[in-house]
Structure 1
Amino acid sequence: MLEKKEKVLAKKAAAEVEKAKELAKARNKRAAVQCLKRKRLYEQQIEQLGNFQLRIHDQMIMLEGAKATTETVDALRTGASAMKAMQKATNIDDVDKTMDEINEQTENMKQIQDALSTPIGAAADFDEDELEAELEELEGAELEEQLLQPATTAPAAPVQVPAGRQPARPVPQKHTAEEDELAALQAEMAL
């Protein structure tokens, strides 16, 4: 409503300016000055309306802020009430008891997992030190073999094979007794 009134007053002020121009052309200076005075009165009213609008907007912002503050306080009260209810429902002894039960179950699971991961049968009889010594011997033999190969052999030139016609290379597969046992055990566990 204030904006509409402001537009009407702006039109009236513009009309007074036009009248003042016409009266000035007609050499009626006194009437032209009166028109300019009315124009200034309209401008003052427009300025007052602008101030009123500014106050209303300021009031709206304050009300929105107050509403947000009220909602925040209500939410905090609800949260505090819920926390009080939770504290009444549970006490520290219940929490400690629950944590003890969880720790006990975790320890039981660790024991079960350790029991299941313990090697059985032939794998349990292997001596780790002997296996490590055997591995070191194999590594040493491989290193000697590499050192004894002549260094003058040039690498073979790559053969260009058209795309889609790659030669199939047979992959050597060595099966040991351990691998067979492992495969049989995995098949059993899958059932």
Structure 2
Amino acid sequence: MFKRAFGKAKQEASPLPTIHKLNDTLDMLEKKEKVLVKKATQETEKAKQFTQAKNRNAAIKCLKRKRLYEQQIEQLGNFQLRIHDQMIMLEGANATTETVDALRSGTSVMKAMNKATKIDDLEKTMDEINDQTESMKQIQEALSAPIGAAADFDEDELEAELEELEGAELEEELLQPATSATAAPAPPVSVNPEAGRQPTRPASQRNNREEDELAALQAEMAL
């Protein structure tokens, strides 16, 4: 019942129906103003015609009616200004009301969220997350720990042995260039072009033999 009454009061307090009614009234006043302007223009034309016809009294009556129309036009203009002023005020009040309602709704939602998420619940949740993280670290450490024969190895001894190997390898690298540089180069092998050849005869013997062969050939030709 209270809710229904509150909703009805809120609906009656809404400026929207009043704004619509004022807008309709403004349209009606504008239409009347157009009609009165038209009538005032017609009376002015009639007054001109009566003036040309030398009918002074009729022309004055037309001008009086024109003045009355103009007074009504001015009054309608004032009404329109008042309606415009009230519409602006109501529209501003409506915007203010909607803004307040929106802020109130946001505040209610924030209160509900804060109520649903208390600081104690948040701390409890963070503690649970930290506990689970610590448990996971312990599980990983237990799985990665060496077992069996690997668990008996002394890490310090292994590190010392590794350092000895690295030192020996470094010494070999330092000594290798010095050894290659101090080694004496092998003497070049000389090749004797005359090796393997048969001993040649003296030049005098070779000339005598040639002369004998030439003499024998000449004797054969003479025969």
TM-score for the superposition, normalised by structure 1: 0.48
Structure 2 length-normalised TM: 0.42
Which of these two proteins has the greater Rg computed from alpha carbons? 2
Say which structure is richer in helix.
2
